[in-house]
Structure 1
Amino acid sequence: MLLVFTIDVASGRTSSPRPESPPFLAKPPAASGQSSTSRATPPTESADVPLAEAHSLLEKGNMTEADRLVRQYLQTHPDSADGHFLLGHILFREIQSEARLETRVEGVEVLGAGVPPARHGEEKARASLAEFTAGAKFHDPSAGDLKVVALDYVLLGDYVDADNWLTKMLAWTPNDAEGWYFLGRTKYNENRFAEAVDAFQRCLKLDPRNPKAEDNLGLSYAGLGRREAAAAAYQQAIAWQSGAALKNPGPYIDFGDLLLDENRDGEAVSYLLQAAEIAPRESRAHELLGKAYTRLDQLPKALTELEKAIELSPQNANLHCMLAPVYRKQGFADKAKIEFDRCATLAGSHSVPPTPRP
């Protein structure tokens, strides 16, 4: 069956009123034997030597040279499905590589941090989709190809198509834990929380003690209004990584947010401080700390946290709206006016979507 991937981005259509962006920035750990978005299918035996060399370069992390070789090959072999599919993987890997550079700070990988994908990232996602579309004219894609197609759509905010291709991919490879994780994230962004719960549970059966999956299971329970189940999942995710050198700040942030919703501000602070220590450039942690300190009437601390959050996410209207009254209470009338004006301007422009979570 010939599969053609249509790119419906120009219309601006998104499937979710709550775009939480791309799980593309940080992939969950894959258990032994599981497929990974970073691994392209090797060229078939009939493929020419240049593609095999390009695939080897890709696996070594040399995307630039791999890209050059494949493009050169396609100039003389435009009907090569393997060539187009491989270039689609290379373009997606380039986006991942750039994202990792943005989320590594002082030796700490910020697994839960994220910013809206840069325009060049969106352009590469479109280009990647175009290559898979071209390749599908000559040969059916593999399950690994479909996974990258789906994640390209996630990058572009098209969760309906992402859901479609992930579902097809998992019908072929039902033991792909990473695929279930990404399907769960996609279902969550579609506000289909019960289906997200099922997907994350499937992921956890295949990849037990995965803190990212457990954290997102908690988010899905919260979406269903099951607050106790959500809290238990966040705490379980925190416990699983208690001895890890590299921690995911997500469950600390999400549990802190839940505690704030229950007006347990002091308890929330302890978890949010841990999140900020794990991921100092995660603006959401500083935002929620600012909220907690404001409620606790610890205004100097609130100022520090909200100013840090704005430094990290200057186009987030909500942060300016939060900081303005704190400045006013502290007697900084001029600064308060600037922030109120900035709040109104950004809120009117709808400049930034909610902070994404991979």
Structure 2
Amino acid sequence: MTDSARTRRPDAEPAPTRRWRGDRASAAWLIAPAMIVLAIVIGYPIVSAIIQSFSQDRIFNEQTGFFEEGGFAGLQNYWGWLMQDCGNGINSCPRGTAGSQFWQAIGVTFFLTGVTVVIEVLLGFWIAVIMGRNIWGRGLLRAAVLVPWAIPTAVTAKLWAFIFAPQGIVNSITGLDTQWTTGTWELLTAVIIADVWKTTPFVALLILAGLQMIPKDVYDAAKMDGATRWQQFTKVTLPLVKPALLVAILFRLLDALRMYDLPAIMQGNTSGPATTMSMLVTATIREGQFANASALSTIVFLIIFACAFLMVKGLGVNAVEQAQPNRRKVGAGKTKKGTSADTSSTKAVVMAREDSGGK
């Protein structure tokens, strides 16, 4: 009886394996509707734009009086944007046209992205630290910080355009006669200030969520080891809040690279010193050049995808991989007194102790 049971036991499939397969099948059925909707709403427009980018725009036939299909264009549309070729060679696009503003729009987009993201992360971190303290009126402070983020972007743009108007508040207070909405650097400065005012609260809330996940015992242990406030910040706070910080940077990076409504409303048109890549796509569509607009939107998509890929691969994945094992250890590893063992917190305290010269 025992021998027969031993021979049948290896043939039986373990229960955890069957349960895992069942859970995977159930998960596939549950996410299938969402994936279908995403494929229709997001996937189809992307594929259609890529296909259309390899075709020519419709040409007006003066003899028949009708528009005719342009046919296959290959990489001509991409070449025209990258080389600013409007049909007569490299850099042949007339000044002021959409084709002549391609590289300027890329430079403006990256400049606005770099400056705004850096300022918003620094200010957001500072505001998050203040909101994380146990002070009177903390709830009211958090609600007040959300007000700029809750205001629609179009309203924010009109508000700051009024503030930076020639007879606006800024010139009235400073006594200057600066044309904030027409000059190159003046307009870029106004857009940066408006974007920082609106988006910094969002970054602060993301970082605040990461700060609240840090156990208070870690700071108490660092204080007992003689760590200064600066050592606590650099060796405890920054390493443990890094995943949330990278998420905030990634979100703002992707959002800033697609900036459109704020500079478009403050500038008043789609051709000017603050023209971004998204504004250039819209201007090309308004001119009826749908194939060229599809090629430009594909270039913008590839640029944003490359930035996100480099950001996640270079920084984000390492932070997530470091955080995941520690989270598992917090739930599984227990000390003799019944407390959780967080490896990252322990390393942070040890580093702070070494810098402070503690034994």
Q: What TM-score, normalized by structure 2, do the two folds share?
A: 0.23
Higher helix share: 2
Structure of larger gyration radius: 2
